[in-house]
Amino acid sequence: MTEAYYFELFWQTMRTLRGPYGCPWDREQTSDSIKGNLVEEAYECYDSICRSDANGFLEEIGDVFLVALLMVCIEEDNGSFTLADVLRLAHEKLVRRHPHVFGDSVIEATPAAVKQQWDDIKANLEGRKREKSILDGVPDAVPPLERAERLQKKAAKAGFDWSDVSGAREKLDEEIAEFDAALDDVAPNSDDTASVEREIGDVLFSVVNLARKSGIDAGHALRLANRRFNDRFRYMEIRMKERGDALSTENLDAMERFWQDAKRSR
């Protein structure tokens, strides 16, 4: 069977689910109601790639496609646009942004040169010129850690950056000191933590900056840290269960010993 056959089969299955005799859940969805599903499936797909899970990747990328196609089906029903509109515009954009392949553009055959040409076409040919700030183009909806890194890269491209990693490291020390001062100023049992929240935000932003200047993807580093924490905590849970002890502050010493065991082996 061909790709076209399975694409048509998949699309018609989606149309059936959205039809008058289809699934009540699918029929009541809107693009707004399932926008979170799109992000969730994308992250599950991302995770399968990070874990080098080929079978998981195969399944998860299909789930991303499923949610995207369901959104298209919903918008067709609303009269907003059609599947043909989506495919036509995506195809035209792909051709337009690759004139070195489909046109007569002659550029240096490097990824960097192709990326620059892509950006130039977006800004000049497609009229997506920045109107207000060099930071335009970094959406608010991007996850905070990734958005921090992208904002910093935009600023760095304009020359607003530390000359080396030591400047970013000193800035982190400065922000930690300001966080400590804000924490000291908060009265015991006070709910007024706005200043502490602001300073911890600056600390997090500075950590992302330090990672960037060190050539580290902060998001990936945090995912690895989350995975290590998950593995070590699960190991500790198993060992505590074998001892017949509960996870509690009263058993913190034993929990810490197992944590350190897990840390040495994981």
Contact (Cβ atoms closer than 8 angstroms) between residue 264 and residue 231: no
Residue 160 has pLDDT above 80, yes or no: yes
Query: Is 79 among the domain residues?
Result: yes
Q: Which of 34, 68, 96 is the last residue of a domain?
A: 96
Burial 144-167 (b: 16+ CB within 10 A, else e): ebeebbbbbebeeeeeebbeeeee
Per the confidence metrics, is the pTM higher than 0.75?
Answer: no
Please indicate, yes or no, whether residues 157 and 174 belong to a single structural domain of this protein: yes
For residues 202, 205, 206, 210, the Cα torsion angle rounded to the nearest 10 degrees is 170
Query: Is 17 among the domain residues?
Result: yes
Please indicate, yes or no, whether residues 148 and 171 belong to a single structural domain of this protein: yes
**What confidence tier does 261 reach under pLDDT thresholds 50, 70, 90?**
very high
Please indicate, yes or no, whether residues 190 and 255 belong to a single structural domain of this protein: no
Contact (Cβ atoms closer than 8 angstroms) between residue 179 and residue 199: yes
Please indicate, yes or no, whether residues 202 and 260 belong to a single structural domain of this protein: no
Please indicate, yes or no, whether residues 19 and 57 belong to a single structural domain of this protein: yes
Q: What is the tally of structural domains in the chain?
A: 3
Query: Is 131 among the domain residues?
Result: no
pLDDT in tens, 73-83: 999 999 999 99
Please indicate, yes or no, whether residues 178 and 244 belong to a single structural domain of this protein: no
Please indicate, yes or no, whether residues 8 and 64 belong to a single structural domain of this protein: yes
Query: Is 230 among the domain residues?
Result: yes
Please indicate, yes or no, whether residues 163 and 244 belong to a single structural domain of this protein: no
Please indicate, yes or no, whether residues 205 and 238 belong to a single structural domain of this protein: no
Range name among 108-117, 233-242, 257-266 with the lowest pLDDT average? 108-117
- Whole domain around residue 153: which residue ranges? 144-216
Residue 239 has pLDDT above 80, yes or no: yes
Please indicate, yes or no, whether residues 252 and 239 belong to a single structural domain of this protein: yes
For residue 173, give the CATH number of its domain. 1.10.287.1080
pLDDT in tens, 48-106: 998 899 999 999 999 999 999 999 999 999 999 999 999 999 999 999 988 888 888 87
Query: Is 122 among the domain residues?
Result: no
Please indicate, yes or no, whether residues 192 and 246 belong to a single structural domain of this protein: no
Please indicate, yes or no, whether residues 65 and 150 belong to a single structural domain of this protein: no
Percent of the chain residues topping a pLDDT of 90 = 69
